[in-house]
Structure 1
Amino acid sequence: MYASFIRAAITALAMVGCLPSILSAGPPLLQHANTYKGSQDVYGWLMSEKLDGIRGYWNGKLLLTRQGRVIHTPPWFTENFPAFALDGELWRKRNDFAFVQRTVLDEIPSKNWREITYNIFEVPGADGDFPTRLDKAGQWFFAHPATHVRVINQIECQGTDHLDAFLESIESMGGEGVVVKDPTLAFEAGRSAHVLKVKHFSDMEGTVIAHNPGKGKFEGIMGSLTLRLENGIQFKLGTGFTMAQRKAPPPIGASVTFKYQGFTRNGVPRFASFMRVRRD
């Protein structure tokens, strides 16, 4: 009952314009990784585990999703955060995305926040190269301790064999993959050829534009989704779903993540398989 009252109060305040800065922050300017194809020279770059959580951008006042939605943290979670920007991952452990998404995107913060950590991988507004920017965050939290915050450890890459071995060790523990980044450059927002995600499979997102009826054992339930990619290409995604998901498929307009292996001549993802619905 209390949670319902709080939600109603927030909605009422928003309707009269009392919470414009809280409920409509706008998408932040983020740096996005490209895909490692094996041909790029990453010797001397810094590498770290790619955490599979919810991205959290701290703008100095509010914690936002990558789409600019406000993340409703408990007050204690951000009370020691700095006035400058941070970019990081809200995470608990490997193979635990559903718990993180459910906890982080709830409008009413629950006790589950005690299990969430904030893992910093960039300081967007800072001057200098990548290590200098990360050091700014490290120095801040050394002076203002927060046990649930850490700066992600970076390892200098000694070449492709080193990268392959590191990726194998991460995946053997159930991790998603690795990020490698040129440490010498200043921060630049947007898709970057100097930040690469390394996995044994690729993933991307598409918007659900249609539900297609199933046949055979899937008769009477969803057989596939028609997705539209960011570049406008449309295709049918029909594998990777549980029976429960086929009976209650992601709604039209939902953003879903799928994994794939390369593209056809027409730009359609090959061997695509559903992973999850994104709410952030």
Structure 2
Amino acid sequence: MQRPGILRRGAEWAVLAALALGGVWAPVPASGMEGRELDVASAQGAVKAWLFQAPGEARRPTVLILPGRQGADPLFEAYSRYASKLAARGLDACIVSYYGPGEAEAMAALDQDGRRRMFAERAPVWAGRVRAVAGALLAGAKSNGRAGIVGFSQGGYLGVACAAADEHLSALVVMYGGIPGRLAGNLRRLPPLLAFHGQADQVVPFAEGAALVNTAKSLGGFAELVTYPGEGHGFGPAASRDARERTESFLLERLR
């Protein structure tokens, strides 16, 4: 089975193109697209992130967006539109570039087995960076003390690793991901989970998403798998719209 970090070259371009061009994410004003660039210190080095703040002064939750294998930069506009949509619903949304210098290029240059090994080796470091960003944002004056994760593909696997280790993360959304190999059989906790998977996914098999949700249920928590028959790795306009609406409702319910 294929694991995070071993997606075929170009596969995630198609995935995020569906988000950006499929008519699901409506255009937003330029000011909403920019976000505020952050440099967050962590034990694993500085982490770059972009914060899209919800309007108003009320305390609100934070959602961390974890990109797939390509990283944040190549598809930044698509991720920005996603973040802007969440911010418009009252959720501070933060795109996290969990790669360090040269890591995106190194991942892109590897073959399938090499990408699998690199993810296994680097995932603890990347998770540490994500958790550092979460901690910094939770300490902010406008935070309500609750944070969640939305992870795409490899970012979904990484989100599982982060949420399993950090009780401050109160909700998890996984788009076509699964359980990291090192955690298979070793998960002890997960926050409420909403997972999305296409039954025709040839990159991350549907069985991996189902195994994640079944494991989460066995731990006694809330977990739901939304299945899209005929959809592959990344969804068409109708499924994308449905996933967005379900994600927003889930995050608002769990984090407010």
Pick the TM interval, shorter chain: under 0.3
Taking structure 1 as the reference length, what is the TM-score of the superposition? 0.24
Structure scoring higher RCO (CA < 8 A, sep ≥ 6) equals: 2
Taking structure 2 as the reference length, what is the TM-score of the superposition? 0.26
Compare the two structures and name the one with the higher helix fraction: 2
Compare the two structures and name the one with the higher strand fraction: 1
